[in-house]
Amino acid sequence: MNILDTIIAEKRLEVKERKALHTIAQLEQTDGFRRDTFSLAKFLLDGTRTGIIAEFKRRSPSKGVINATADVLEVTRAYAENGASALSVLTDEKFFGGSTADLVAARVNDIPILRKDFIIDEYQLVEARSMGADVILLIAACLSPGEVRSLAQTAYSLGLEVLLELHDEAELEHVCEFTPIVGINNRNLKTFTVDIERSLVMASKLPEDTIKVAESGIDKVENVQLFRDNGFRGFLIGEHFMKTADPARAFREFVADLKNFKK
Ligand SMILES: O=C(O)c1ccccc1NCC(=O)[C@H](O)[C@H](O)COP(=O)(O)O
């Protein structure tokens, strides 16, 4: 069993437990359902921001503890105020040290928030809306094409957008009319190897009007520029900021370098 299989097996148990705590009807009564959601597609396409989807990630299966002390409010505010197009907030506790509370805290920011978790059940979509998310992640490596289609359609009916994550050519069959935003994960989630070229290889294989997002292993402004040159509008970056003692500062410096690089 690889790490992704382990995470999904745990997630099935977790979702079962969470369903016993709150019914869907109860979640639908929460504040999250009374707000208008922000559109990730619009924020990525409008060109006034960096395209960076800045991630708040405390730890990961591949790296262990990344940052044990970072404050979610301070870091996500700095991301939002300095040009992030969206936030990605881990809500998985067991493997990433995230929580619902982290996403709720980040909701003070007026930019789209991706609930970064392992979505396998419609109940998690209702939870995502309830906690204040605007976008959910669907990972092709742990869902069938039919499951992606069904979950994505339900997400849109709840006012949520979808970031569909692919890694290789075999997963292209997961793309459907409900997944206009597609991320290419440069990290193989089964082996943890990172190959920044993955996004480039996959770019030309996606439908032409896809809003393309490069994910993982991005630690240089040169990477972002190369992805931009190849038609990418979004860049999901976590560890490069979170591994430092001051992720807010690391983000500001990265954005400044990116602006200078363009000149
Ligand atoms: O990062 C891991 O170890 C991992 C393991 C299993 C499933 C998912 C995993 N990571 C999720 C991601 O791909 C990243 O959090 C995201 O793309 C940001 O990547 P990075 O900039 O390299 O932190």
Number of structural domains (the chain) is 1
Q: Is the CB of 60 under 6 A from ligand 1?
A: yes
Q: Which domain, by its residues, includes 121?
A: 3-262
C-beta of 67 in contact with ligand 1 (< 6 A)? no
Q: What pLDDT score does 178 carry?
A: 98
| CATH number of the domain where residue 180 is located | 3.20.20.70
pLDDT at 262: 65
> Is the whole-model pTM more than 0.90?
yes
**Ligand 1, atom 9: closest residue by C-alpha:** 189
Closest C-alpha residue for ligand 1 atom 3: 62
Instruction: Check residue 190 and give its pLDDT.
Output: 86
Low-confidence residues in the chain, pLDDT < 50 = none
Report pLDDT for 245.
98
The predicted-structure confidence for 165-214, as pLDDT tens digits, reads as follows: 999 999 999 999 999 999 999 999 888 999 999 999 999 999 999 999 99
223 lines ligand 1 (CB under 6 A): no
Q: Which long-range contacts (CB under 8 A, 24 or more apart) does 5-9 make?
A: 7/61, 7/92, 7/94, 7/95, 7/118, 7/142, 8/118, 8/120, 8/142
DSSP line for 103-157: HHHHTTSSS-EEEES---SHHHHHHHHHHT-SEEEEEGGGS-HHHHHHHHHHHHH
